[in-house]
Amino acid sequence: MIKKTISYVVLVVLASFVLVACEAENNEQYDTRAIDSLDSMSDAIGELVAVSYTLDDEFVNAQGDEFYNQHDVYMRGPDKMYIHSVGTKGNRSYWYDGKSLSVYSFDKNTYSTVDAPDNTIKAIDYVNEKYGVDFPAADFFYPNLTDDILDVYDQVLFLGDDQINAIETTSIVASNDTRTLQVWIDKATNLPLKFLFASKSNPDKYYQAVFSNFRVNPDLPDMLFEFNAPSNAEKTELKTIK
Amino acid sequence: MKKFSCIVFSIVLLSFLSVGDLQAQRMKHGGGMKKAGGGGQFSRGANNRSINGGSRRSSTRPKSQNYSRPKTTKRPSYTSQKRPSSAVKSRPKNSGNQVRAKGGGRVDSKNLRVKGGDKSIKNSGNKVGNKVNVKGGNKNVNVNIDNSRNVRINKNVRVNGGHSNRYYNGHRGYYPYRHHAYRPYHYGSYWHPFGFFVATMAVTAIIVSVNNQQYHYDNGVYYTQSSGGYTVVNPPTNIVVNSLPEGVENITLDGKAYMYFGGAFYVKENGKYRVVDAPDGAVITNIPEGGEEEEIGGEKYVVYNYTYFKPFSQNGKDMYQVVEMEAAE
């Protein structure tokens, strides 16, 4: 009797998993054209040996508070990055030279320096996970962009052509149960032009960012990525989030 | 089993991705890297000088195909959660969706006449958050795209090619717009929005006329006589008034002086003030109640008094710039 009951429970559990699996499978829709466009964008980014761009972002939280920031981003090779951000989060810069990452607040005249991994992507990951520092549009610069999107979203669909600031773009939308991501890709360069994260549960809540001033493979000098603290600046500890 | 593992992994991933994470680094980067073997590591044999080691893709991706229409069964209803539009309550029916077309003529975008032709375009009237018909290669797609605001998407007009989409910041050169939300400005108790009805006219009002039409003018507000009282209307182009109220903004554009008040632009002539079409590129700081937000080409604009204004912030101050539109082909 006990054996029968256990067998029955095991069967029910297994059946539930199978049903969940089937349901998940049924919900997945990945449009080949969308995947190809994302791959092309990922390839275009992966071929960059240096880049600079401006990112204007806008975030509205659940309370309707609005935050705007403008970021000037410079990256060179696998291990150099400099970002200057101005906006509602203040006026600050980040320097990464392959060994350490420094943050300087122009508003407070304070800075922090932490050891960081030896490539930009790992450094972004490390600092984000340990200190909660967000980097503008970092998601787009991961080498596995398309796979990351496929893992997170159930649907990735091709919306077709659209125009952003008179630039011809291809538009992709990805969605799961909680949110959508829409990406506009410059058709001429295959670089991202705009993206929008929107919450499905709270229509007022979203994050969007627009790229501009893209410079492909510019000559960026070493000194751009080296941080020298002002003599009167106060050194502070970057707070960990764990 | 592979599918099962994938599903379990996806669930774990989704559990990390709270909605509250919209602002943060927005995707956990485990999936692709997991498949390619090694989180955050650069691919072997790839472009080692690349900023990210070169693009990588998994060989075990889920199957894809061309879709003509996404599934809509799980789409949440945004309708009840939309932010109510308080700005349009007092607007007259004929003032909301008109734009100033290239050359200064007024065009009703509900039935927009394309410059230089007889082609008539019907305004789709799409609202953000509703089903949006997306033009392009996949014409049947209906997807919730931008569900964030009660902003009408207008594809019937576009920014005039001659308009610069940047503003000049003396310290840093030309920079792109930093958007801010439309916040109606309250000029004072004497100010009334378009469509507002008053039973009696203030004693300070004067009668002015243009094109054989009489108006009552008081403190920057124009009224026409209507049944039992007076109704506020849009400032008529070319009408001349003797004075402008306090709070007028002085603007110099291309060497020409303009005055702005309550959505109307004036030029000074012989000691009086004549209403003119909004000059493209003019920057002002206040738009009163009654403006409507529209999204054009992915950018948000405020439409007021037949004019498109682009909200932007400069040196921490919220401003608006007149953007001349033209009919989209």
pLDDT in tens, A202-216: 767 888 888 988 999
- Residues of chain B with pLDDT > 90, as a percent, come to 21
Contacts of A222 (CB under 8 A, 6+ apart): A80
How much is the mean pLDDT over chain A? 85
pLDDT digits (tens, 9 = 90+) for A92-132: 899 999 999 999 998 889 999 999 999 999 999 888 888 88
Q: CB A78 to CB B49 under 8 A?
A: yes
CA distance B158 to A29: 33
Task: Quote ipTM for the complex.
Answer: 0.80
Place B163 in a pLDDT band, splitting at 50, 70 and 90: low
| Mean pLDDT along residues B18-41 | 41
Residue B53 and residue A141 in contact, taking contact as beta carbons nearer than 8 Å: no
Task: Say yes or no to pLDDT of B29 above 60.
Answer: no
Lowest mean pLDDT among A135-139, A144-148, B147-151, B224-228: B147-151
Tell me whether B169 touches chain A (CB under 8 Å): no
How much is the mean pLDDT over chain B? 63
Question: Bridge-partner residues for A175, per DSSP?
Answer: A155, A180
Chain B residues whose CB is inside 8 A of the A59 CB are: 22-23
The enclosing H or E element of A128 equals helix A120-131
CA distance B144 to B79: 12
Tell me whether B73 touches chain A (CB under 8 Å): no
CA distance B179 to B279: 21
Cα distances from A135 to residues A110, A140, A224, B27, B211, in angstroms, run 19, 11, 18, 12, 58
Place B135 in a pLDDT band, splitting at 50, 70 and 90: very low
Tell me whether A219 touches chain B (CB under 8 Å): no
CA distance B294 to B151: 5
Task: Say yes or no to pLDDT of B20 above 60.
Answer: no
Return the amino acid letter for A90: G
Tell me the whole-structure pTM to 2 decimals. 0.50
Among residues B4, B6, B11, B64, the alpha carbon closest in space to that of A19 is found at B4
Place B196 in a pLDDT band, splitting at 50, 70 and 90: confident
Q: Does domain A30-226 have CATH number 2.50.20.10?
A: yes
> How much is the CA Rg of chain A, to the nearest whole Å?
22
Chain A residues whose CB is inside 8 A of the B25 CB are: 124, 128, 134-135, 138-139
CA distance B293 to A231: 48
CA distance A110 to A113: 11
Contacts of B305 (CB under 8 A, 6+ apart): B95, B194, B234, B235, B263, B264, B278
| Mean pLDDT along residues A51-60 | 88
Chain B residues whose CB is inside 8 A of the A203 CB are: 78, 81-83, 129, 147-148
Q: Where are the domains of chain A?
A: 30-226
CA distance A134 to A141: 13
What is the DSSP code (8-state) at residue A31? B
Helix A2-27 crosses helix B2-16 at what angle (to 10 degrees)?
A: 70
Task: Say yes or no to pLDDT of B21 above 60.
Answer: no
CA distance B248 to A85: 35
Q: CA B36: distance to chain centroid?
A: 43
What is the DSSP code (8-state) at residue A160? E
CA distance B187 to A116: 54
Looking only at the bridges linking them, the beta strands covering A50-60 and A100-105 are unpaired
Contacts of B291 (CB under 8 A, 6+ apart): B87, B182, B184, B302, B303, B304, B309
What torsion do the CA atoms of B246, B252, B257, B258 make, to the nearest 10 degrees?
-50
Place B125 in a pLDDT band, splitting at 50, 70 and 90: very low
